[in-house]
């Protein structure tokens, strides 16, 4: 992902990452009431770590090379330490050019020390998982309530790889009221069946080692990525901001990664990033929201030549998609649903071909 931490939340849910690391990123962590570290705190899991290397860490050794005064570096480090304390972080170690802080596993201890919250109030009205065009705030994102100091806010995770198929705590706790544990298990099994079928219609997906970087445009619970766990690939799971249920937190709780995205906008990544793109009902979701051509052109931008696309959607939608991608010189075909030919939902399989623009017309060129 290409991104900047400035005035808008990072495109991730709360409690997503085990560790955040910053090396010589020169972000003013201690300024603006600690708003940037407060955002790091939001996306860190209970007990997660923040690691900082570079200025001002170990300024005693490097301050001359950094062309900074000792006084300014001391002030900068003191600012970081004060913000970390206001977030209830514990500094574990500072050794040579590294400093490591740890977020608490719950906020019971913090709430007992009300003076800590004197300048760091708890966020009350905001949804901690909302992140698309959501402004940064200096309030502290509260961890889910616990009854005992030894409990982990939001629940403990199973170890990997059991975590992948265990019921995510957001589901088992009822935080995602629309999704039950039974629905999660059924979805996991469904995608195992679907991915097995994909490998019969896309020989490149079945070829071990052919793909590495995969993009799932509408991930729901991450079942597509989970079904590929034994393949040598990684999947960027996207939860569209227009989705009815915000499931990205549950995807992270499975040990997977992902981001939010509005597919009417460009994705914040480099051209030719992905070997394979998968989309489940993406174009039905964005019907009347933006032009189909815009989404397909963005897919073409981030897909590598000879990369594949698998889209599943209503047959009428896929016929329109095929007419556009044929003009984009993709090699495409529409095949039946895994349940047979009588399903309205079909599957489009496409390969982005190498091609170059035609040479200029010599007659026209001579006239000009």
The residue range of the domain holding 334 is 162-352
- At 140, is the secondary structure helix, strand, or coil? strand
- Calpha distance 199→346 (Å, rounded): 15
Question: Quick check: is 368 in a domain?
Answer: no
Does residue 161 have a cis peptide bond before it, meaning omega lies within 30 degrees of 0? yes
Q: How far apart are CA 158 and CA 255, in angstroms?
A: 10
In angstroms, the Cα distances linking 340 to 165, 224, 235, 280, 347 are: 28, 20, 27, 17, 11
Task: Clarify whether residues 194 and 337 are in a common domain.
Answer: yes
Measured distance CA(320)–CA(324) in Å, rounded? 7
Residues 225, 229, 232, 237, Cα dihedral to 10°? 20
How much is the mean pLDDT over the chain? Answer: 93
Q: Are residues 7 and 131 in the same domain?
A: yes
- For residues 90 and 11, membership in a common domain is answered with yes
Whether 176 and 142 share a structural domain: no
Residue 116 has pLDDT above 70, yes or no: no
Q: What is the pLDDT of residue 363?
A: 65
The pTM score is 0.93
Total structural domains within the chain: 2
Q: Is residue 360 part of a domain?
A: no
Instruction: Please give the structure tokens belonging to residue 290.
Output: 């933006």
Query: How many Å apart are CA 58 and CA 96, to the nearest integer?
Result: 6
Interval 263-268 mean pLDDT: 97
Query: What are the tens digits of pLDDT across the range 285-325?
Result: 999 999 999 999 999 999 999 999 999 999 999 999 999 99
pLDDT tens figures, 321-337? 999 999 999 999 999 99
The CB-side HSE value for 117 (13 A sphere, CA atoms) comes to: 15
Give me the mean pLDDT over the 336-346 stretch: 95
Could you say which of 154, 176, 205 is where a domain stops?
154
Q: Would you state the pLDDT for residue 367? A: 57
One domain for residues 229 and 246? yes
Q: Which pair of tokens denotes residue 28?
A: 């003013």
Residue whose structure tokens are 């304390």: 85
State how far the alpha carbon of 198 is from the alpha carbons of 42, 304, 346, in Å. 37, 19, 12
Rounded CA-CA distance 328/296 in Å is 9
């Amino acid at each position: 992902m290409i991104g900047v931490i400035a005035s808008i939340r990072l495109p991730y849910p709360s409690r997503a990452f085990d560790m955040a690391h910053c090396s010589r990123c020169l972000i003013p962590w201690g300024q603006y009431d600690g708003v940037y570290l407060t955002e790091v705190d939001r996306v860190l899991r209970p007990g997660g770590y923040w690691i900082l290397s570079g200025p001002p860490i170990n300024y005693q050794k490097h301050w001359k090379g950094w062309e900074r005064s000792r006084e300014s570096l001391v002030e900068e480090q003191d600012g970081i330490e004060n913000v970390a304390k206001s977030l209830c972080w514990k500094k574990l170690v500072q050794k040579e050019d590294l400093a490591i802080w740890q977020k608490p596993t719950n906020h019971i201890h913090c709430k007992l020390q009300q003076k800590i919250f004197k300048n760091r109030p708890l966020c009350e009205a905001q949804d901690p998982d909302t992140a698309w065009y959501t402004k940064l705030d200096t309030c502290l994102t509260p961890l889910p309530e616990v009854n005992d100091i030894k409990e982990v806010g939001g629940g403990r995770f199973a170890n990997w790889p059991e975590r992948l198929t265990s019921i995510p705590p957001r589901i088992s706790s009822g935080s995602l009221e629309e999704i039950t544990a039974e629905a999660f298990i059924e979805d996991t099994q469904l995608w195992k069946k679907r991915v097995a079928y994909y490998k019969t219609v896309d020989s490149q997906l079945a070829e071990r080692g052919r793909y590495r970087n995969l993009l799932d445009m509408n991930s729901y619970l991450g079942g597509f990525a989970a079904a590929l766990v034994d393949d040598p690939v990684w999947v960027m799971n996207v939860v569209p901001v227009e989705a009815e249920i915000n499931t990205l937190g549950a995807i992270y709780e499975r040990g997977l990664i992902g981001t939010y995205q509005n597919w009417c906008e460009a994705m914040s990544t480099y051209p030719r990033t992905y070997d394979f793109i998968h989309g489940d009902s993406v174009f039905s979701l964005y019907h009347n929201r933006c032009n189909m051509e815009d989404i397909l052109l963005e897919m073409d931008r981030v897909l590598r030549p000879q990369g594949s696309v698998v889209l599943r959607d209503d047959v009428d939608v896929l016929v329109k998609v095929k007419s556009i991608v044929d003009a984009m010189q993709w090699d495409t075909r529409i095949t039946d649903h895994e349940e047979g030919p009588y399903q309205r939902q079909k599957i489009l399989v496409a390969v982005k071909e190498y091609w170059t623009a035609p040479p200029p017309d010599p007659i026209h060129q001579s006239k000009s």
